[in-house]
Amino acid sequence: MAKRRGGFHGGGAPNMNQLMQQAQKMQRDIEKAQEEAAEMTGEAIVGGGMVEVKVNSDHQIIELKIDPMVIDPEDPEMLQDLFIAAVNEANRVLDEKVEAHMSKATGGAGGLGMFGL
């Protein structure tokens, strides 16, 4: 009679069940984190407070404040540059917040295809 070696004989099934439960929990955690991330915003203040921008999770501007002192008809490029810098920074801040939040939910496994990210 030959001896069995390896395989899933005996204690294999509980480990598989445990893995499935962990994967399901991680999926629930990821879904919750995605819902929370959808509520996040990114904000930036540039030019010493002359331009403030706030973006939502879809990278849409939801707030914009421009100090009237920065509106110079002789130098529209300065306002354009400040606006672009503020929007880009707000989006960068948002991306970092979302990435950090999702990393917590995935335990650092972020882009694993099996979890749909």
Give the pLDDT confidence of 32-55 residue by residue, as tens digits: 999 999 999 999 999 999 999 999
32 touches 101 (CB < 8 A): no
Cα separation of 98 and 91, whole Å?
11
Hey, what domains does the chain have and what are their CATH numbers?
Answer: 12-115 (3.30.1310.10)
Which of left, alpha, beta for 7 (phi over 0: left; psi -120 to 50: alpha)?
left
Who's near 91: CB < 8 A, 6+ residues apart? 42, 55, 59
Q: What is the pTM of this model?
A: 0.70
Give the pLDDT confidence of 40-96 residue by residue, as tens digits: 999 999 999 999 999 999 999 999 999 999 999 999 999 999 999 999 999 999 999
